[in-house]
Copies of this chain bind each other. A is one copy, B any other.
């Protein structure tokens, strides 16, 4: 049975994950099995979630689902950043949350609540499982202050005018700064700009652990140093330690967080505890849209809601959450991934084909013996997921398996009852449980029909007009208008739109 066999397979073909810090695929050996501690950097909640958020969430959802499948007891912590994330990585600029709250005329926590809720809704749509704990940075101020104290006590931080900075140079003398990113301190000197206010720091590459709040800064707490707020990097060191311990298994996040965020986390934890806290660092790669980096200034920062509704000018049609998920899983998480309408449409078709194939397995009638090799299919699936979560290869094996199943449907070959059950289980386990794909909440039959029915009516109207049967053509226009469907005659045809939502609301 597959449910037992995975132990066998993982012993035979163990899980390897690529560790960013060693730059190698390493055998995954938890510190304290069967427990696994997993920390992933969550969103800074000051705007709608976009593809970047989705990719990180889906990557580590795949990992979480697979570790759970392997029957590890996973504590998965994914934080919410609601304070301290300044516009510039150099500890300057406005707090991202505060700036947005000011623009939207909201209390910062109102904004945090709003965008946290909308992020959670998107994650549910993408079938991303809830983490075990989702701590807020603003909810762990005392713990962060205690962490600053530890770093101060170990001598790797200094206080200036009520702010506390991490002393990168001093740290680098004892430990090595840059172990994750490979950046060396000499390069940092030349690359960090001198910014206003940075003269407080001993060196431009030092970073804030605690910042004294300016008078207009709303989110602030008392401390022994000043009324202020924690530096952005601090929350992750603090909350991962609180909920997963001083050493834990896996820390994940997007590649964009590798430097300076994760590098600073390592420095903080090492300075405080004398050792680095993370055994495996994992980073998902970035997303491009039509070959370009995503960015608000480029006008291509399409939100997830816009993908789902098709309402962004760059998006030709709505793409369902499962299409987005499937598309992402068709690439390996460490590859960059380019979004285009064409690629998404082909993912949409691929996903349909996958589920159609799975449905057709039900049509197979078992025989006494098998001519097909289910062991091999199962081994291939485990082998690919165990190879640093190679979901594209896994998916191609699943499609190969459907070829076998299709020939069985066509009466070519034979499968035993036992093998048929295993075949069904392979698809249930890998597609639903591990890849986290599901049939979309089927649009009702009726819903899919509207467009076509309207088009039929418009064709009849067009014909009636040509035949000067204005009674019919006017009747059609009027009845559609009554339903809230607006018809616009254009030179090259007829456009229509459902406009009167109000009218329809009472029917909903």
Contacts and interface: CB of A to CB of B under 8 A. Distances in A.
Interface stretch (A45-53, A64-72, A126-134, A200-208): A126-134
A491 interface: no
A87 interface: no
A177 to B, nearest CB: 30
Given A457-B453, A472-B460, A358 B506 contact: yes
A75 B450 contact: no
A5 to B, nearest CB: 16
A29 interface: no
Contacts of A498: 445-446, 449
A444 interface: yes
A186 interface: no
A111 to B, nearest CB: 10
- Secondary structure at the A interface, as helix, strand, loop or mixed, is helix
A141 interface: yes
A201 to B, nearest CB: 26
A442 B442 CA distance: 13
A6 to B, nearest CB: 17
Interface residues of A, number: 69
A354 to B, nearest CB: 12
Contact of A130 (B117, B138, B450, B507): B117
A188 interface: no
A136 B139 CA distance: 8
Contact of A476 (B243, B447, B449, B456): B456
A504 B449 CA distance: 8
Given A450-B447, A456-B476, A508-B438, A110 B132 contact: yes
Contact of A479 (B138, B456, B475): B456
A60 B224 CA distance: 40
A18 B505 CA distance: 33
A457 B446 CA distance: 15
Contacts of A507: 359, 362, 443, 448
A107 interface: yes
A113 B142 contact: no
A342 interface: no
A135 B134 CA distance: 13
A448 to B, nearest CB: 4
Nearest to A134: B113
A483 B146 contact: no
B506 A352 contact: yes
User: Which of A131, A139, A480 has the most chain B CB within a 10 Å cutoff?
Assistant: A139
Contact of A447 (B131, B146, B444, B460): B444
Given A146-B222, A358-B506, 17 more contacts: A107-B132, A107-B243, A109-B243, A113-B133, A139-B140, A142-B142, A362-B506, A438-B508, A443-B508, A444-B508, A447-B447, A448-B508, A449-B485, A449-B498, A452-B483, A453-B454, A456-B480
28 contacts: A107-B243, A109-B135, A109-B243, A112-B133, A113-B130, A113-B134, A117-B130, A138-B139, A142-B221, A352-B506, A362-B506, A362-B507, A427-B506, A439-B508, A442-B508, A443-B508, A444-B447, A444-B508, A445-B484, A445-B508, A446-B451, A448-B504, A449-B483, A450-B453, A452-B483, A456-B457, A456-B476, A460-B460
Interface of A: 75, 107, 109-110, 112-114, 117, 130-136, 138-142, 146, 221-222, 243, 352, 358-359, 361-362, 424, 427-428, 432, 438-440, 442-454, 456-457, 460, 463, 472, 475-476, 479-480, 483-485, 498, 501-502, 504-508
